[in-house]
Amino acid sequence: MNIFFGYVFLGISLAAPIGPVNAAQLTKGIYGGFFHAWLVGLGAMLADAIYMFIVYMGVSQFLETQFMQTLLWSFGCFVLIYTGVDSILNAKKEIDMKYIKGRTLTKSFLYGFLLSITNPLSILFWLGIFGSVLVETVSTYDMNHVILYSLAIFVGLFIWDVTMALVASSFRRLLKTKVIGLISIISGLSLIGFGLYFGVQAINLMFF
């Protein structure tokens, strides 16, 4: 049981560092409330599950090709910069559900999935860090335990997702409009920063 909770804590630790998904959850939670932020995280978890499956199937070599890495860095750059600019442009809007009109819960889920599935850093994690963890786990335990401990990692990811959604939606209720607008701008700049970093990586792969 202690080992199980150790893998749960591993999942929380992996989700906690500030990145595009956390920044997006913060923005969605402020403007749309708990469920929009929560579903962004769930979408990202679906992408994580796909990458975990890829590691299990041993087809990671395909994603390690220069063409695929360049494509993912480039697409991730576009998604992040577009999202960051949108967050900044809407920072002065009144904080109510009108901002979310047309931005359904399904779109929030797909948004989180898109952010994570096009994030090469996620790919590097699942193919690198989780791949190493998987090798060690397989060499120590049977397949039933491997599946159990992999699920434990997702329990940790889910706990962090709910926590982020609660924090973000609480900001919406507690903070004044000007402060929320400032947070939205900072979040947008953060997403643009990640996007520019992705763009630089794509350029390096294409020309250097």
Digit-coded pLDDT (tens) for 128-166: 566 656 656 666 777 787 788 888 888 988 998 898 888
0.85 exceeded by the pTM? Answer: no
d(CA 84, CA 200): 17
Query: pLDDT: is 20 or 45 the higher one?
Result: 45
Query: pLDDT: is 133 or 30 the higher one?
Result: 30
Domain boundaries along the sequence of the chain: 2-207
**Angle at CA 22, nearest 5°, toward 17 and 28?**
165
| pLDDT at residue 101 is higher than 50 | no
Which pLDDT belongs to residue 39?
92
| Contact by Cβ (8 Å): 100, 36 | yes
The 8 Å CB, 24+ separation contacts for 126-129 are: 126/48, 126/51, 126/52, 126/54, 126/55, 127/51, 127/54, 127/55, 127/60, 127/63, 127/64, 129/14
Mean pLDDT over 162-178 rounds to 74
